Structure 1
Amino acid sequence: MDQRGETTEETSKSSVSSPVNVADQRKRTKIIYVVYIIAALDITWMFLQFSVTPYLAKKLGFDTLWFGYLQTMVGVIQLLGGPMFGRFADLFGARVALSLACTSTIVFFLLLAIADHPAMLFIHKLPTVFMHVLPASQMVVADLSEPEKRADALSKLALCFGVGMIAGSTLGGHLNTRYGETFTACFGAAGSAFSLLLVLKFIPKTTKVQAPRTSADSENKKKSVFNVGEITRLMKFPGVTPTFLVKIIAGLPSGIFQVMFSIIALEFFKLEPQQNGLLMAYFGIVQMLIQGGVIGRLTPRYSDNSLLLLSIGVSSLVGLAQAYMQNVFQFCIIVLPMMFSLSVFNVITDSMLTKSVPSSDTGTMMGLCASVQSLLRTVGPTAGGFLYVNYGISSIGLIQFVVNICVFLFMLQRRLRKTTEHME
């Protein structure tokens, strides 16, 4: 599908075909840029929501464990919806998939705006089953980027995450402090409506190049949207299952810390909404620097396996540091290696997995990747709430250290064994 690397050569050889190739390249580049904007806006609205939910939950009488149950519910819903949404995106195209995701986000914020009872906080999470703007955006970028440049393209998409984190956290903290939770939620709904307009205006029906199909073939494909076998068959491709296991096992401890961070900021660091928003904005700045200045330079020089091993090793040290931190200043220092390991880990694993499957299945694969994150959010809040209440914040960091160092040593031993066998 991608012919960017051949465009210059073709331009010099054929004056007839070059306008078509250049036009196609510009069109694909424009679509990618618009997708970056949509992704940045979606993350903005999501982090704006993070400035509302924990404080609203506290007002409605939620304690740490019940807030963990709320987060677990989101994880379960998205765990079920992620793979199906990815398959839906592959079959019905980027425009329909992104429109569904943005519309669900609008409903999500409207329900949050009218939440005045603990049950309403659970009800407003139901639309998250279709709220997969980021995986759909990743699918589009994967479809329109060359395999050898995919990690760099996905890292630029992750750069949008940093932009959204800064904008959403800062904006959410100010709006919640000055105007309250209801106004902030309505602002998120309006912003999501603007994202929907961008999708309808600029995103094409499909971003894939497919061979012509008969109506019977199309009907059979549509029937397979909820076919679990069509989704799980991707696990049979070489290298997919081991990468997924590493993504789950190594990612679980850091996932626990991430989903519990709003509670940690509220109870351990004693942060107000505006202070919490500034801290999240700091996260975003660090991530932007890493995505824009570090990952793009690392991916051409080092193999995916080497970078994956590095990210897991750094993550183990981050867990050890988290176990002994005492204040926000120490945590701000820890954020630097933490964001590096998370950014490299997510970008490299997603890149490795999309390279392992045909281009026609990139949406399904991104849905499966999203389901891994949802699995972490499903287990994380309950496990994190139990650990935090009974053993304190240090237990979360120590578990991250132990699990990641074990995965690191296992992968290193396996790599050394393969190197020795190759030399023999």
Structure 2
Amino acid sequence: MILNHVRLIRELSSGISTESGFVRVEKDMITEVSDRPYPLADETAVNTNIGNTEDIDMVDCKGKTLIPGLIDLHTHITVLNQVGFNCLHSDMELLTTAAEHAAHYLDMGFTTIRDCGSIHRVANEVKHMAQIGLIEAPDLITCGRAVMPTEGSEDHIMAQHVHFADTVDEVRKAARQEIAEGADFLKVFTSGAAAVATSVPEQSIMFPEEIRAAVETAERKGRYVAAHCHGDNAVRNSILAGVRTIEHATLISDETLELAAVQGAYLIPTLAVMHISDGPRKDYWEKRLGPMFRHCTEKMAKAYEMGLYLGFGTDCAAGDFCYDNGIEFRFRRENCGMKDLDILLQCTRNNAVIAGIEDRVGMIRKGMSADLILVDGKPDLDIRCMYHRPKLVMKRGKIVRRM
């Protein structure tokens, strides 16, 4: 297949910049990237090196921008928007519901997602279904259940996606169990959760030695740890324990930003989840999330100015208002002052590096997986075109969405 007359961005196309080039895709791989358009049939007579274009599946992209498929490093295919809550009685119903929901991420161009905790570890199974082509969905990076100190009843509906563990030994055992069940990384809760009314986001809920136990166990199995952190003390403890990705980092201090820079920890801010919609509980959420949002956007703006290698997460569900309206893109641009190109790099190249999958995705170049999206606009110059659905989504060389 030839994607012809595509606009390519230098920073995402291995140095190739053009207003009308082409990308060749064979099976599931990118095999050629050019800064010139592919010669059409009436041009082949003057170029003996070009074969019969009638045998090529040609897509005229009409100058639209081709970029790598997007990556969301913090989402959940269950739990968010209560997906899966009505399926706890049936594992098969939960599996089909989760698989159906996972497919919706493709609508907005996300071809890789990292699930940070799923009900009954169902994301692990959806991952395998996507890998073998049984369902049409993004590639998933999964942790199974998130490891968390006892913060409530095991019967609570929100407890269905966590693995309660207290003490160093219990954390080690929980980590080993999640890895044995197919986790690609470990997720731990080191602070309270903003979404749970009885939880206190500022509180640090894991002891440093417990966090270190998770990190050490993960490293022995070639994995890494992602830590849910709102409070600054939890962020600091997680960084010092060797956690690779700091999720949210909502209440991080200037001093801890400096520590993150020195230690090389990756921050994955999730601003969109703090979007407050109109409704009967608007005042409650404004009081709870408003100060957190203002602090976080201020500190992420500073982290950006410091040159920290920021990742891109949403903690939102595909198909909801925030996903369908590009709220994460908007908040980074409007509230953090990030440049359009840098936001684009965060959700492609940066995320691929952070997740350790940069050899497969995140860039347009020969030998990479053909996970690509076509955007109507120039997102490196005006990210607002990412607030809308892409015109075309390609997953592993197959066009799976087309507008």
Assess same fold via TM > 0.5.
Answer: no
| Structure with a larger share of its residues in helix | 1
| Structure with a larger share of its residues in strand | 2
TM, length-normalised to structure 1: 0.24
Higher relative contact order (CA 8 A, sep 6+): 1
